Amino acid sequence: MQTVHSFIKNKSKQLAYFVNAYLDYKIVYEELDLFFWDTMEEWAQIQQGKHLPYGQNENVFWHLMHQIHYWPQETLLTDLFLRDELMTCVDALLGQKKYPFPMDCIGIRP
């Protein structure tokens, strides 16, 4: 049975890939949106660890998930401040951060 920790670890890399691909115009928004909904469906199956405190990676993961679902597809592509924030989150999820985890990227579990 998958735990919250293993779910976040596995899905973080996938989320980073999909966000990167979308922002680089390599996939269409519908693929990013489908990833979001598939991930939410998988999350609903997680039973173990939901009572445990969040890790930094999980905070960034849920923040990024919220952003890609909340903002319209055009805004994700054209708002330079938002794009920078998304890429900061992607870098953090991939361990490529040049600084500590982003302080303003704190998401919560659905």
Q: Which pLDDT score is estimated for 98?
A: 63
Give the pair of three-digit tokens for residue 14. Answer: 């996938």
Domains contained in the chain, number: 1
Average pLDDT per consecutive 10 residues, the chain (110 residues; last block may be shorter): 93 98 98 98 94 92 97 97 94 79 83
Question: What pLDDT does residue 51 have?
Answer: 92
Q: Does some domain include residue 41?
A: yes
Inside any domain, residue 33: yes
Would you say residue 25 lies in a domain?
yes
What sign results for the dihedral spanned by CA atoms 70, 73, 76, 78? negative
Q: How long, in residues, is the chain?
A: 110
* 102 belongs to a structural domain: no
pTM of the model: 0.93
List of residues 6+ apart from 32 with CB closer than 8 A: 18, 19, 21, 22, 68, 73
Distance CA 73, CA 103 (A): 25
Residue 86 lies in a domain: yes
Q: Does residue 101 sit within a domain?
A: no
Residue span of the structural domain in which 79 resides: 4-93
Residue 3 has a pLDDT of 94
